[in-house]
Copies of this chain bind each other. A is one copy, B any other.
Amino acid sequence: MNAMAFGTLRDSHVTLSHGGGGKAMADLIETVFFPAFGPGSGEDQARLTADALCEPGARLALTTDSFVVTPLEFPGGDIGKLAVCGTVNDLAVGGARPLWLSAAFIIEEGCEIALLQRVVASMAREAALAGVRIVTGDTKVVGRGSADGVFVTTSGVGVIPAGRDLVAARIRPGDVVLVNGVLGDHGAAILAARGDLALSTDLVSDCQGLGHLMEAVLAAAPGTRAARDATRGGLAAALNEMALAAGCGIEIREDALPLRPEVRGVCEILGLDPLYLANEGTLVLFVPEAEAEAALCAMRSRPEGQGAAIIGRAVAASEGGAHTARVQMVTSFGGRRIVDRLVGEQLPRIC
């Protein structure tokens, strides 16, 4: 089916009739989605085969995320790029090779169709970079004031090759903690893009896919224990989740944290803590000490890992303090600080 031949959309903005299941919806899909994602099968589902799924010991990985970021377009990305990268990354940090994505759109009446087209083009571009296909989707339209622009929900299917078992429970005291680059760029860039700062900054979201980086790391450091994508709640949330799941403690060094001076500045001015700022392309990796250098080199060999650094290590649960203080930071002054999960909420609709 030639999508463009059906592209009879005359409206510049989405109306409720674009969600009605009739002609207008078909026009919207044929004008906005097919040119970017390719024509659908006309069925209610995608039908897929992959030899990799059938290799003995391989497992299927399934993940989902809704994206509600505001603004919809920001320095370094938009909600579409964020959705594809976020889903690819959720798969990648579990050791899965991402294969297929679905994309569901909840669109507010009045949303500009040109904006939708940019978002969808951005999704297609990012999917191609990550080597995944967006194979099925859905659109719903709600009245003005019942949503905010557009919300995107992506789900991803990947395959975890036999023998890979990246899971926080495998972390052992002594393991080294690495990140692939600077922290907090996404959170700070979104904050700046909202105009909540009187400052103008050059900050750009770190939004990027981590699939290829993970493959490079796993080739160089096959003993890698676990990985996590440090998104909402920042590095602090990722480390606390992992420490809890592993039943161990984690100690990081403030001196070792890669932070842009601009992000540090934004945080100082606004009283924010960069440990809690969201990232959208930041990998947190736990590697046995013997493989730490290899993992670091593998990360630095790729553009997504240029700023990679060793930031700390896993420790025994009882080491260095109270039972509940699972994550601690050795400060630049040599003191110790508890890095707890975020209490309350720092920045809504960051992703």
Contact = CB atoms under 8 A, between A and B. Distances in A.
Interface of A: 15-17, 19-26, 41-50, 53-54, 59-68, 89-91, 93-94, 96, 100, 102-106, 135-143, 145-148, 151, 153, 155-158, 160, 167-168, 228-229, 231-234, 237, 241, 244-245, 276, 278, 341-349, 351
23 contacts: A19-B345, A20-B232, A20-B345, A20-B347, A21-B232, A21-B234, A21-B342, A23-B343, A26-B341, A42-B241, A43-B94, A44-B63, A44-B91, A45-B156, A48-B59, A53-B60, A64-B102, A64-B155, A66-B106, A66-B151, A143-B349, A146-B349, A147-B148
Contacts of A139: 66
Contacts of A348: 16, 19-20, 141-143
Contacts of A45: 61-63, 90-91, 94, 96, 156, 158
Contacts of A41: 167
Nearest to A351: B140
Nearest to A109: B348
B346 A20 contact: yes
Given A106-B66, A145-B145, A60 B48 contact: yes
A interface: dominant SS: mixed
Contacts of A148: 142, 146-147
A59 B53 CA distance: 10
Query: 3 smallest A-B Cβ distances: which pairs?
Result: A22-B342, A21-B233, A21-B232
Contacts of A102: 62-64, 155
Given A22-B276, A64-B103, A106-B151, 10 more contacts: A17-B344, A19-B349, A20-B232, A22-B233, A26-B341, A44-B93, A45-B96, A50-B60, A147-B148, A153-B155
Contacts of A43: 94, 167-168
A283 to B, nearest CB: 12
Nearest to A18: B345
A154 B20 CA distance: 19
A60 B68 contact: no
A140 B233 CA distance: 13
Contacts of A17: 344-345
A104 B64 contact: yes
Contact of A345 (B16, B65, B229, B278): B16
A168 B344 CA distance: 51
Nearest to A343: B23
Nearest to A346: B20
Nearest to A17: B345
B42 A59 contact: no
B64 A153 contact: yes
A17 B135 CA distance: 34
A308 B269 CA distance: 68
**A43, A89, A96, A168 — which one has the most chain B CB atoms within 10 A of its CB?**
A43
B68 A22 contact: no
Nearest to A100: B62
Contacts of A155: 62, 64, 102, 104, 153, 155
Nearest to A135: B62
